[in-house]
Structure 1
Amino acid sequence: MDKLPALKGMTQAQKIELVQLLEEKKRRESTYRYKRFFSSRYPWQKKFISATAEYSQVALIAANRTGKTDTGTGIDAIHAMGDYPPDWSGHKFEKAPLIWCLGYSADKIRDLLQTPIIGRKTDNGWEGGLIPGERIVSTESAQGAANAVRSVYVMHKSGELSKIQFWSYSQGQQALMGDAVDWFHIDEEPRDPTIYPQVLTRTATGDQNKGGRGILTFTPENGRTDLVIAFMDNPSPGQHCMNVGWDDAPHLSEKVKKDLLESYPPHQRDMRTKGIPMLGHGRIYDLGEDFIKCDPFPIPDHWLVIDGMDFGWDHPQAHVQLAWDIENEAFYLTRAYKARQVSPAEAYSAVKSWADNVPTAWPPDGLQTEKGSGLQQKSYYEEAGFQMLSDHAQWEDGSRAVEPGLFELYDLMRRGKFRVFSGLRDFFEEYNFYHRDEKGRIVKVRDDILDAVRYAYMMRRYAIRYADIKSPPVEEDIYVPSSSGW
């Protein structure tokens, strides 16, 4: 309203010019929105993008409607232009790349991959895609769907031409031969098991002989296929898997989620809403997230707390905090953190706000000694600031059996006596996939936080009052920090 007087004083020509300027501003904001792509992403999307800098194959196995394909096509478009935002943390190509985008059919590729990347052809050229039309030099048509293209040539920041090629799984793996691919995007899992190996073969000499890389974005509709098992249970050093569900998609309203959930068959709901493949074999914790989830709340001073940790370097190390309502014999997981290739000092810096002065349970491998120094692994964490218990995690009788811990924790969950603060997505990601193989053995992958929880529970007899964290008592024998532990 305060701008109306100024408008009243403008001539008709000035008003027209102002409208034109505003329209041009709006057009530019839309045309060059790729510059805001990274900064506007959800935290999980930024994490996914960042993983492409470290791993050559990154899979986003996610629920429907979470934005997985939109995330992937945004990455594809930015690679094609080479115009990386200043805060971009993912992989970067120094030269114009050859990009393969693969999907089910020509129609699906056009609608789900081609259109978000380059838009639609108009009298003014290509409009509406993340790549501005002015950077699209030429296209080659594809058969099988109206307005579909086979190849797109894009002006790269280096001055060279990037090439995006769209491939349909229906063409078969024999069509995917000959080229050295720098970047690939597989959208939805191919049912033909020969497709993915063929794509990987094409990346062998990509990115200037450093080896190409790429992403997979799909909902696991085919269940626990070999591809899903490889990424989730047995990833190679170059592979990384992320799982995303509806809780990670704020753009979905509660009404939309409710309506969609009711339309899905019960046996598909975890797959559709959490991106969890139907495991087929022994899910260890088969209770839904909502059954054990609760909203965070302040921990009462008289409750007990204890931390648990799992060592790691190539696989993540994990740290958790367990609060114990001893009067009601109930437990609450209130904190969870995990990260790969971080030092003890870096880990302590990340959790110090809640781990300071709290006894920490740890596994037996903390007794392993380093060849050079002869120091035990746990001593580095003591030096960093963690209050490591003097003995590794064990039951009161000195045993270390895993199965009793799993049984007791599951029984607590089933009786409503073990709850997890909402928002601890790393925990729930592990929880949803924790399972046994065909022979009943626990699949020891993506279980770092779960192991840390079990260690904390095993050593709960050493938990301390929450009130004593900030003001630790100096008289009580049970709480005497020393260089050797507790």
Structure 2
Amino acid sequence: MRRLRPREVEALLADLAAVESRRRLEDYRPYPKQAAFHRAGASHRERLLRAGNQLGKTWCGGAEAAYHLTGLYPDWWRGRRWARPVMAWAAGHTGEATRDTVQRVLLGRPGSPGTGLIPAAALGSAMAARGQGGLVDRVTVAHAAGGQSVLKFKTYDQGRERWQGETLDFVWFDEEPPADVYSEGLTRTNATGGLVWLTFTPLLGMSEVVRRFLMEHSPDRADICMTIEDAAHIPPDARARILAAYPPHEREARARGVPALGSGRIFPVAESLLAVAAFPLPPHWVLLGAIDFGWDHPTAAVRLAWDRDADIVYLTACYRVVEAVPAIHAAALKPWGPAMPWAWPHDGVNRSPGGGKPLAQQYREAGLNMLADRAAFADGSTSVEAGLMELLQRMQTGRLKVFAHLADWFEEFRLYHRKDGRVVKQADDLMDATRYGIMCLRHARADERLLPPPPASEGGASDSWMG
């Protein structure tokens, strides 16, 4: 067999690279958070993929756009589908930014069409944009069902007025748009019941657009947060170096998609000081559940395990569900510990609409071992600020740890903040439950199922241990 010459090897490798560059959509395999984002499109009209830098958010948004434009959905796809050609917009801040991100991901670099996520065979005619070299104004894409989809590239700096008039099936915003531009883009999909999705790192903090997804709950909206730990292409040993390279005030936003909250953050504590891998609990540690009641906002609960010898509290489980009755919540929480005591807030004495039983009593009758009285410190006080200070002191001194897999808890922890000195009472349900638990630690008790049996009686029979 003849040995290939160096130039022949280089040419062969170039040919292989060219082939691979035209199979990007076929080769796309989403990480779990990206898959969750796609899946949410089946039931949510508005979606935000809130992620750190270089984690794959733009690639994820571009892959979804390419699937809808071509109709070439993979077998694993569980998101929204169109069985016909679509009309769509994709946008970035400026013409240059749109060309170098959104257009590059979908079409390839200028001069190399078909090397992006939209296969070369599907690309039709393209019209160049005015005023920005290499920027495409619109392109047609062959759809698997027949006919042509149409994609137009837009920019935020065109202003709200240039976003009016069209009727669209979907709009993709890459990087955060101004609130008025986002509203116009969403309006373009009203008549079709179409989709709008955003992919960005929230460097602008708690902006109006971010607050819409994080604070204004709606069945039409989904917020998916992707952190550096969710990006498998970044080796674990490289993550610490990447984090250290970011300015401290941008670190959480650039690595974990956390809106910059500045001095308003209630717990300015690094997650690395809190997160620990889950482990079996020693039988002599005492347990306590704590619940925050809700309906239109979630009912939330946490389980605390207290190592009294070291005075370290471990948060080992959390639960957050909206619009369910007490019996449903109780059934989900009782397996945490049938006899485990439960702390509850002041509204547990409130009666249900129509004169029903108090909430705490409903949970008690459903099988949870609710404490006799609402959550309070040993002296009877119920100060919110005192509870927050106790939590903060435990975090800073290493006496509060949280099992690292409890993503819902860490999500609220990252967003928990003040405005004008006051605690913002939104997306704080697990934080409230944790505070109730810390206030009532003295009521924690050991799990009887884990304790060793007592010594056998003189008659040889073993008595059951009742605590």
Fold match by TM threshold 0.5: yes
Distance 1:182 1:349 in 2: 42
Structure 2 contact 114–121 (Cα < 8 Å) conserved: no
Structure 1 residues 467 and 374 mapped into 2: Cα distance closer, same or farther (>3 Å)?
Answer: closer
1:5 aligned residue: none
1:189-228 to 2 correspondences below 5 Å: 189-190=176-177, 192-205=178-191, 207=192, 210=193, 212-228=194-210
Q: Deviations for 1:262-286, whole angstroms, at most 9, x for unmatched residues?
A: 4322322222222233324421111
1:179 aligned residue: 166
Structure 1 contact 359–388 (Cα < 8 Å) conserved: yes
Pair 1:310 & 2:292 matched: yes
Alignment: residue pair count: 446
Q: Deviations for 1:393-427, whole angstroms, at most 9, x for unmatched residues?
A: 33344443322211111111122111112222221
The letter of the residue matching 2:345 is P
Any unmatched runs of 5+ in structure 1? 1-7, 9-23, 480-486
Pair 1:91 & 2:73 matched: no
Distance apart, 1:474 and its partner CA: 6.6
Structure 1 contact 141–151 (Cα < 8 Å) conserved: yes
Distance apart, 1:47 and its partner CA: 2.7
2:6 aligned residue: none
Structure 1 residues 173 and 420 mapped into 2: Cα distance closer, same or farther (>3 Å)?
Answer: same
The letter of the residue matching 1:114 is Q
RMSD between aligned alpha carbons?
Answer: 3.5
Distance 1:65 1:357 in 2: 47
Structure 1 residues 53 and 31 mapped into 2: Cα distance closer, same or farther (>3 Å)?
Answer: same
1:30-41 to 2 correspondences below 5 Å: 34=25, 37=28, 40-41=29-30
2:248 aligned residue: 266
1:129 aligned residue: 116
1:442 aligned residue: 423
Distance 2:125 2:316 in 1: 54
Pair 1:109 & 2:109 matched: no
Distance apart, 1:67 and its partner CA: 1.5
Distance apart, 1:143 and its partner CA: 3.3
The letter of the residue matching 2:186 is L
Structure 2 contact 283–450 (Cα < 8 Å) conserved: no
2:404 aligned residue: 422
In the alignment, which of 65, 72, 75 is matched to residue 76 of structure 1?
65
Query: What TM-score results when the alignment is normalised by the length of structure 1?
Result: 0.79
Distance 1:389 1:88 in 2: 47
The letter of the residue matching 1:404 is A
2:126 aligned residue: 139
Distance apart, 1:388 and its partner CA: 3.7
Pair 1:323 & 2:305 matched: yes
Distance 1:445 1:291 in 2: 25
Distance 1:137 1:346 in 2: 54
Pair 1:459 & 2:445 matched: no
Q: Deviations for 1:440-475, whole angstroms, at most 9, x for unmatched residues?
A: 111111212111212222232332214545889976
Q: Provide the secondary structure at the position in 2 that maps to 1:194.
A: helix
In the alignment, which of 24, 36, 43 is matched to residue 32 of structure 2?
43
Structure 1 residues 471 and 138 mapped into 2: Cα distance closer, same or farther (>3 Å)?
Answer: farther
Structure 1 contact 177–202 (Cα < 8 Å) conserved: yes
Structure 1 residues 95 and 461 mapped into 2: Cα distance closer, same or farther (>3 Å)?
Answer: farther
Structure 2 contact 339–447 (Cα < 8 Å) conserved: no
Structure 2 contact 90–151 (Cα < 8 Å) conserved: yes
Q: Deviations for 1:269-319, whole angstroms, at most 9, x for unmatched residues?
A: 222222233324421111111122223332211111112222334333323
Query: What TM-score results when the alignment is normalised by the length of structure 2?
Result: 0.82
Distance 2:175 2:114 in 1: 25
Question: Mean Cα displacement is larger for which, 442-451 or 275-284?
Answer: 275-284
Q: Provide the secondary structure at the position in 1 that maps to 2:99.
A: helix
Distance apart, 1:322 and its partner CA: 0.8
Structure 1 residues 469 and 271 mapped into 2: Cα distance closer, same or farther (>3 Å)?
Answer: same
